[in-house]
Amino acid sequence: MFAIFKKKKINIIKPKPYDEVGGSFGIEGSVPKSWLLDKLTGIIYNDLSLDLVSLDGVNFLCSSIQTFEHNKDVRELRGRVIFYKTINFDSCNIPFIENSKGRVAIRISGRDEKTQSIFIPIIVKSQNNYKAPKNIVKQHKSLESQILKYKKDIEIYDKKINKLRESRELKSAIYDNEKDNQYFYLNDWSIASDILGIIQDEKIHQKYLYSDEDEAEKKLNKKFKDAIEWRYRACGPICGAGIGTMNGYLFRVYSNDHDTHFHIIHNEKGVEARFLFPEIELLDYKNIKYTMSSKTIKKIQEYFKKPDNFNRLKTEIERRNSA
């Protein structure tokens, strides 16, 4: 682990990997200044992303950490920035820590999370004197590699799912008039899967229009089950709630937002947009180079016209604003 820090030119002063910490502790170190540069926009920020991650991969504390320029007279630290922050756990964090038997990790990330991210495993001391069994200790050591595997699996899964969606959309265009072609397909194909299950239970093997795609998706969901479950719990209730997905777009409410809007993200396309609630109107983009078509925006609005989806979003925004 120290070799990885050295390779990435990272200096962690405290806590060191597997150090024991209390309910309040400081994080201190330095990273290359390049970690602050957003290559898409050219903007240089002055903070890093900071997450506390439980043993099952949930970010149970999400924040940022300010950086400062080093004294340029100190030659060996030139081109670097230092960071420092005090972490104070509260009652919302305790269940995650207890379920992890005190074994969690700090994740610090730059603007490019794929190449600028480090994990620091730590042990949170408690009056309960957590006694971690061997399997928990082993899981703690492999937490970073497990999360990286989940992320890789999700990328593969999303690409394959998108191909199935494209196949469904092509098939939906077989009708002669525009009215008959007005079909809208969501990410959740549970209804189709249930129908397929009924057909199979009754030992009826007649094909229908999307039977090949539904069967392929069922196999993908089974193969990537662990990664899919991880994605939907990954951010957790503290830093943001997942509202749903549609054609690769993730709908999310963040706990550090303070007005009535929510976020729509497509990781592969680089899109991140904010929409107003309850109007479901586009507010702005994080980067105007990566936008959505008017057709996609209309589909998103149609998605939230469904009472279940709208009420789920309303509940999360009300919960966030009352926190």
pLDDT along the chain (323 residues), means of 10: 58 93 93 87 85 88 78 54 91 87 92 87 81 88 92 89 82 56 44 49 57 87 89 54 67 71 79 91 87 91 88 79 64
pLDDT at 163 (0 to 100): 86
pLDDT at 181 (0 to 100): 45
Q: What is the pTM of this model?
A: 0.61
pLDDT at 28 (0 to 100): 94
pLDDT at 314 (0 to 100): 86
Q: Which domains does the chain have, with CATH numbers?
A: 2-141 (2.60.40.10), 150-225 (no CATH), 235-322 (no CATH)
pLDDT at 17 (0 to 100): 94
Residues 6+ apart with CB under 8 A from 107: 49, 50, 51, 52, 53, 59, 117, 118, 119, 120
